[in-house]
Amino acid sequence: MAGYLVTGGAGFIGSHLVEELLKRGERVRVLDNFSTGKRERLEPYLDRIEVVEGDLRSQHTVRDAVKGIDFVLHQGALPSVPRSVKDPVTTNEVNVGGTLNVLDASREAGVKRVVYASSSSVYGANTAIPKREDMMPQPISPYAVAKLTGEHYCQVFSCTYGLETVSLRYFNVFGPGMDPASSYAAFIPLFIVGMLEGRPLIVNGDGTVSRDFTYITNVVEANMRAVEAEGVGGEVFNVACGASMSLNEVIAKLRELLGTEGDISYGPARVGDVPLSLADIDKARDRLGYEPRVPALEGLELVASWYGRRSRGD
C-alpha cells in the first residue's frame, strides 16, 4: 500500500482521484484549504482518508502534509482564467508559490514522484493545431503563466534535485460533481443546470470557440498512468480526447439530451480565451500508455444524466 497526497483533494478533479485511489486500496491524505473545494465531496471517504486543512502557501503546512508520502498528485490551485485576470497576484501566490512549496517539501521528504496538474491554457496564442507538447507556449492569461511556471519548476526539480515529476496539461475537464453555482463555473455544468432550471444563459462570444472537452474518467486514468510509467521524469503530457467541439455544438447536444431549448443568448468574448483548442495525445499514448476511455459525446450523456437525476431529487 503506497501513501498518496492529493493536494486540492476536495476539488472536482481531486475528489475523483481520491475515490480511485481508495478503490485501488491505497493510503490517501488530502491537503485542502476549502476555499474552492467542497467538504461534501470528501464526506463519503472521511473514515478512510486523512484530511489536512491548510493552505499551499504555508511551507510548514505543506511539509507536514508530505511526511510519509510516496506520491503526490498536485491538483491544488486557484482555478479559472477570468479569476486570474481579475486577481493575478493571488493566482501567482497560490499556483506558483504553492507549487514550489509542494516540490521543495516533496524533495525533502523523499517523495518518489509528483504529478502536477497543468493546463492546456499554456499554449495560449500559439495558433498551430493540434497542440503538441513540443510547441512554444504563448500564455495570454495570468493563470496560464502560473501553470507554465509550475511546469518549469517541475522540470528543474527533476533535473537539478532528482525529484521525479510529471506534468499533465488538462484540456477542459468536465464530469459529475462540478459546481455550477460558482461565479467561475465551467461551461458544461453551468449550461446543463441553467437549461434544466430554465434560467437565462449567456455564451461568451459567438459560440464558435472550440474545445477538446475531456471527461473526468480520462483525467483520472492519466494520473494513474503518470504515477506508474517509467522513464518519464520531468516530462509534460497532454491529457485530452484528441477531438474538438464548439460551444454551439455542445449546446445543440445538450438540447437534445435534456429536451429543452434553454434561454440562451450571446455576449462579448472573454478576455484571455483561446479560440480553438485541440490536443495531440500521441506522446501520452506512447510514453504513458494513456488512452481516453470516454469520448466527449459519451461524457456529455453521462454528465447530463447525472445532473438530471440531481434536479429530480433521484
Q: Which residues are catalytic?
A: 143
Separation between Cα atoms, residue 313 and residue 88, nearest integer Å: 39
Residue pair 153/99 in contact (Cβ under 8 Å)? The answer is yes
For residue 237, the number of C-alpha atoms closer than 13 Å in the C-beta half-sphere is: 31
Separation between Cα atoms, residue 139 and residue 147, nearest integer Å: 9
User: Which residue has cell 478576455?
Assistant: 271
Angle between helices 296-312 and 187-197 (to 10 degrees): 40
- What cell was used for 62? 505543506
Separation between Cα atoms, residue 129 and residue 12, nearest integer Å: 28
Residue pair 78/94 in contact (Cβ under 8 Å)? The answer is yes
Sign of CA dihedral 93, 37, 70, 234: negative
